Structure 1
């Protein structure tokens, strides 16, 4: 971890612990006030003593937790190696920062900028790149650049590493992903996106649209086909990026052929709606109002999931915490094949268990009232029977369906004749790079 990241970690820890102390103090204060109101004048002497002790106790606690971690981090950073690896460039660091930024990423970007992931993209087994020209150079040097690009966008609190979830168990190769298999089987060039999921979906999507415009113009070979594949929130990013690229007249939009959403809450996520309603109820009582205020500090990225807000017009000028669904369906673009997949605990996609624990089947398929999205029925896929949200990241049936969708109804685009020797070499290179990452984690 770099010195600036250590300092910002201390600042962020101090701010968060200070806010938790504020919540505890607020709840205590409200409960005490209600009790002393019941006691009336008889409780006045006790109230004076209580308030004095509480002020000293909570005041000292807040000072300690708010300024202790930043001070400790500042001292530690003074002895840190300035040339140390960034937390963003190690597996453990990236996973930790992905989780934190999913919850409060908008605040991290403002208050502890060094800990906020920048939108970057990489080749399979390659380094994350912020500058498209550097990524294009990586592709040119590797000799793996093709005219068919498939971009993978991860979900909330995830990172670009999520696509190898359970890969060792599912594929027998810890470096394998849908992307690497599409590369080996059909000649796609897989690219993996990493970004701050705590920011607005429309903001991340705009950055992606701009990055792809530059990348396509600098790619070593002519780009003929682009596919966007998103897991959970990543599917909303894909839809938003395509819509914004179309509105801005970006050239890459005309190369876009596929948008695939895996467990994507196109009509919103029930957990975020539950928390939103809960905060409204908690805010009604003085004793629970501090907790409501604390919960309402969750990231705008999470709040966008309430109803599936993909465009700026879905949230601009509206109350962040209102209960009304104001999202537009976002016009489906001509010439783009939209495909969706869901997972459910139940075998059939009906009933109370028609969910993957985080996203409902109907939301993943755009089926709702009064708003719905007319995804083609022949491009809907359901994985049922004790399947959860993350099973869609690595599953043989999902991969087969994904490959079929990207190949087209006639199976065009298949690279079945690709030499087996080249594919074996690619897989061996992926395994070697995975061993290097494993050493980094240890």
Structure 2
């Protein structure tokens, strides 16, 4: 780890331990207040003694757990070799930071930025790059004008696409991207980013980087495909929507958006967390737990109903007991949208029609209040004891992915045919917002 990463790691550890101490103190204080109130005046002397001892004990504990890790981080950073490898450039480091930032990424980006992943990409098995010009420089004679970008889900990293690869393919280096490269001549890119910040923010950064990358790519770009697992599918849809609004040129080459286990209509676990924190906040004894749970990242809160755009969260308290207020992102003309889901049940219906995290109906955009008009012919269901991460490496999913990317279904229209439609859509959306 670099010195700034050690420093921020110490500070973050201290903050996390301090918040746990505050949680314990809050629950203890509320329980004690209730018990002493029930005991009445006879217990007042004991209460005064208890409150004094508890205040000293908790205050010293909070100071200790906050200061000691931060001090250790500062000292370790001061003596660290300045040429040390960044934690972001190691597989284990990215795995740990991916999980951490999924839960607290917005706060980490604000307070301990050395530990917050920036949106970067790598080409095949090359190094992670944060600047599109460097990605273009990595290109060799094997690259093509067919570019496919893989966006991971919440708490994941660019390495998630190798999940269970050895079990599925017999080679841990094999991914959907490498197979598409070998079978059909696609050039794969793998994204790594902070899933704890807003989906719309990650998507805007992706859209801007793609605009620069396509302009610098050494061969003419003829096709672009965005493939996202879980939250990554929402980032892909949002990036395309925002790029289209901004008039980015790369959208003209965009042909496919694929969501694998993507909660297009939201995730029930986040809705339950939102409901649960409101119930916990009603009692003094459980209110500190609600406060602690509400510190989960805005990236997680965006998953409540699948918030794609800044308008879906701007000037809204994310801890309200919210109903679905998400603005449906326009499906871009000329782009084929394809969706896959996994379920514990063999059939895509019933109590177990989910993959432990995402419901089948949400992955396919089918809702009671709001639906997304995806083409049913471009959907796939992986059923029978299948979980969320089975979608990352599965032979039948790959076969469908290859089939989808090979078929046009409207995506093969020329850019000239869709330019006028895009301009009309942008004018319509601007008029609606103004009204």
TM class by smaller structure = over 0.9
> CA–CA distance in 2 between the matches of 1:324 and 1:409?
37
Give 1:320's aligned residue: 318
Match of 1:10 in 2: 10
3-state SS in 1 of match to 2:262? coil
1:173 is aligned to 171
* Offset at residue 288 of structure 1 (A): 0.5
In the TM superposition, what are the counterparts of 1:16-415 in structure 2 within 5 Å?
16-139=16-139, 142-322=140-320, 323-408=322-407
For the residue of structure 2 that corresponds to 1:367, the secondary structure is: coil
Unaligned runs of 5+ in 2: 413-435
1:422 is aligned to none
Q: Distance in 1 between matches of 2:355 and 2:244?
A: 32
Query: Cα distance, 1:300 vs. partner?
Result: 0.2
Deviation at 1:144, TM superposition (A): 2.2
* Counterpart-to-counterpart distance in 2, 1:355 and 1:319: 29
Aligned-pair CA distance for 1:303 = 0.2
2: CA distance, partners of 1:126 / 1:352: 43
Structure 1 SS opposite 2:380: strand
1:328: Cα distance to partner?
A: 1.5
Find the residue that maps to 1:381 and give its secondary structure. Answer: strand
Paired position in structure 2 for 1:431:
none
CA distance in 2 between partners of 1:31 and 1:246 (Å):
55
1:121-167 Cα shifts (integer Å, max 9, x gaps)? 1111001101101000101xx32221100000000000000011111
Report the CA distance between 1:321 and its aligned residue. 1.6
**Cα distance between partner residues in 2 of 1:297 and 1:71:** 24
* Cα distance in 1 for residues equivalent to 2:72 and 2:181: 47
What is the alpha-carbon distance in structure 2 between the residues aligned to residue 42 and residue 144 of structure 1? 84
Distance 1:409 1:83 in 2: 49
Distance, in Å, in 2 between the alignment partners of 1:251 and 1:77 is: 44
Partner SS for 1:152: strand
Partner of 2:427: none
Shift in Å at residue 78 of structure 1? 2.0
- Tell whether the 8 Å contact from 2:340 to 2:379 is kept in structure 1 after alignment: yes
How big is each residue's C-alpha offset from its partner over 1:35-73, in whole Å with a ceiling of 9 and x where there is no partner? 111111111000000001101110111011011100111
- In 2, the alpha carbon distance for the partners of 1:274 and 1:248 equals 35
Paired residues of 2:336 and 2:408 also in contact (CA < 8 A): no
Cα deviations across residues 351-405 of structure 1 (Å, max 9, x unaligned)?
Answer: 0100000000000000002111011010110000000000000000000000000
Distance in 2, matches of 1:144 and 1:304, equals 38
Rounded Cα–Cα distance in structure 1 between residues aligned with 2:74 and 2:279? 40
Deviation at 1:313, TM superposition (A): 1.1
Whole-angstrom distance in 2 between the partners of 1:278 and 1:258: 38
Deviating 4+ runs (over 4 angstroms): none
How far apart are residue 317 of structure 1 and its match?
Answer: 1.7
Query: What TM-score, normalized by structure 1, do the two folds share?
Result: 0.92
Post-superposition shift, 1:214?
A: 0.2
Task: Provide structure 1 residue ranges, at least 5 long, that are not aligned to the other structure.
Answer: 414-442
1:76 Cα shift? 1.6
Aligned to 2:415: none
Task: Look up the SS of the partner of 1:271 in the other structure.
Answer: helix
Shift of 1:409: 5.8
CA distance in 1, matches of 2:162, 2:39: 61
Q: CA deviation at 1:318?
A: 1.4
CA distance in 2 between counterparts of 1:295 and 1:143 reads: 50
**SS of residue in 2 equivalent to 1:275:** helix
**How far off is 1:324 after superposition?**
1.2
Query: Contact 2:233/2:260 (CA < 8 Å) preserved in 1?
Result: yes
- Secondary structure class of the residue paired with 1:349: coil
